[in-house]
Amino acid sequence: MSQNSFTPGVVAHRLPADQYSDQFSDLHPPLNDHEALVAADRCYFCHDAPCITACPTDIDIPLFIRQITTGTPDAAAKTILSQNIMGGMCARVCPTEDLCEQACVREAAEGKPVLIGQLQRYATDHLQDQGVHPFERAEATGKTVAIVGAGPAGLSCAHRLAMMGHVVTVYDARAKSGGLNEYGIATYKTTNGYAQDEVDWLLAIGGITVEHGKSLGADMSIADLSARNDAVFLAMGLGGVNALGLEGAHKDGVLDAVDFISDLRQASDVANLPVGRDVVVIGGGMTAVDAAVQAKLLGALNVTLAYRRGRERMNASVYEQDLAASKGVRIMTHAVPVGLHGNGAVREIEFEYVDDAMTGTGQTVRLQADQVLTAIGQTLQGDDLPRLDGRKIAVDGTGRTSLSGVWAGGDCATGGDDLTVTAVAEGRDAAMDIHTTLMS
């Protein structure tokens, strides 16, 4: 449900006007030249580097860090981008604390890893700020590929196919490209319109056309796309949102966390976004944390993140959980929502405490809430899809689906972990298999 201006307690401009810019400033300000050299100098340049293994896109991390130390950040950027064309965004949003930096030898020895993510941003920003695109298209192959979804998987696939000489058309239901990078990530992680800047830079390779406002089912079918193209790649993400399943879930003040984040991302002035005084977020993933932190930054007095299991079972990383706590978000675990109370608009939300086996204890608690944000997962939407495995499209290791000539990757397909960096890797790998198939 969208925000309702008549919901009591949910108002805009909760903070002084000059405070918003500080609240939503860059979470990790970029390194300057000196800071980058100091950070890079800590790398051991391991021969069999565990950080490479931990990176879903297999970036040669010791090599790009060495290139920074030798004063060639643009070469470092090309090392990164050759494996991960969206390395700039991944440097900002990737949970490096659970991936490359967790595997860093410095982390094991000292508890303080090399700042791999920030060094990756330093290098990619240095190159992209010059408007340089380090890759060129190969000779035209005469083959065409249709891609559904202009998110990380779709754009990664499109770029690699274009680079190999194919002509690519990307269809996306939204008004802008970028997928969750544009619509679903906390504002303080990607400031100053970076998501769109990266898309524009990526498309500069040429050979890629993007058509917005086109969705699978409503405007086209897989059969149509397959008939008009040599291959199809599905990367439309998960467009539906799981229902809360409680009586009163349609009360004013109850809305999807993904819509809340999207509204904030697209707002020309974040001060205009209404937020409650007492906000409760239901969920334990990155979306839940992003929504909870941003509600607090918008000026909510009390923000509670409620999750049905223990903190160790939350999909959000420990770093993200600690970030939320540092911003004043209360994390309540082993709590399942059982009721929404209020006459027309939500006033309270009731939880029952459960044990580790998810068995109710009979103990309940009510929290004041004039705004409830639900972040309990998303679902796949579409008709006549390839064979599904659970709630996602079944794929093999290269992204092939049950339909001949159709590949899939990103959040809509099995095998990933719903991260930008994983989606990029799946799009890249599918593109390589598409290319091999088309040219064999």
In this predicted structure, what is the pLDDT of residue 430?
98
The three-class DSSP label of residue 71 is coil
Burial class (CB in 10 A: 0-12, 13-18, 19+), 22: exposed
Do residues 117 and 94 make contact, with C-beta atoms less than 8 angstroms apart? yes
63 has a pLDDT exceeding 70: yes
Q: 228-282, pLDDT tens digit by residue?
A: 999 999 999 998 888 898 988 999 999 999 999 999 999 999 999 999 999 999 9
Give dist(CA 287, CA 292) in Å, integer: 9
Mean pLDDT, the chain, rounded, equals 95
5 has a pLDDT exceeding 70: no
End-to-end CA distance of the chain: 49
Residues of the chain with CATH 3.50.50.60: 144-239+380-439, 241-374
Where does 241-374 sit in CATH, by number?
A: 3.50.50.60
Q: 395-437, pLDDT tens digit by residue?
A: 999 999 999 999 999 999 997 678 999 999 999 999 999 999 9
Q: 177-204, pLDDT tens digit by residue?
A: 999 999 999 999 999 999 999 999 999 9
- Predicted TM-score (pTM) of the model is 0.94
Where does 144-239+380-439 sit in CATH, by number?
A: 3.50.50.60
Give dist(CA 405, CA 397) in Å, integer: 15
Q: 323-379, pLDDT tens digit by residue?
A: 999 999 999 999 999 999 999 999 999 999 999 999 999 999 999 999 999 999 888
Do residues 438 and 143 make contact, with C-beta atoms less than 8 angstroms apart? yes
Q: Could you say which architecture CATH assigns to the domain 33-128?
A: Orthogonal Bundle (1.10)
Q: How confident is the model at residue 383 (pLDDT cuts 50, 70, 90)?
A: confident
Give dist(CA 360, CA 364) in Å, integer: 9
What number is the average pLDDT over the span 72-77? 98
Do residues 152 and 182 make contact, with C-beta atoms less than 8 angstroms apart? no
Give dist(CA 114, CA 219) in Å, integer: 47
Residues of the chain with CATH 1.10.1060.10: 33-128
In this predicted structure, what is the pLDDT of residue 6?
56
In this predicted structure, what is the pLDDT of residue 202?
97
Give the CA distances from residue 293 to residues 24, 81, 141, 305, in Å, rounded to whole numbers and listed in that order. 10, 31, 48, 9
Nearest to 3 by CA among 367, 359, 267, 385: 267
Give dist(CA 422, CA 412) in Å, integer: 12
What percent of the chain lies above the pLDDT cut of 70? 98
What number is the average pLDDT over the span 204-212? 98
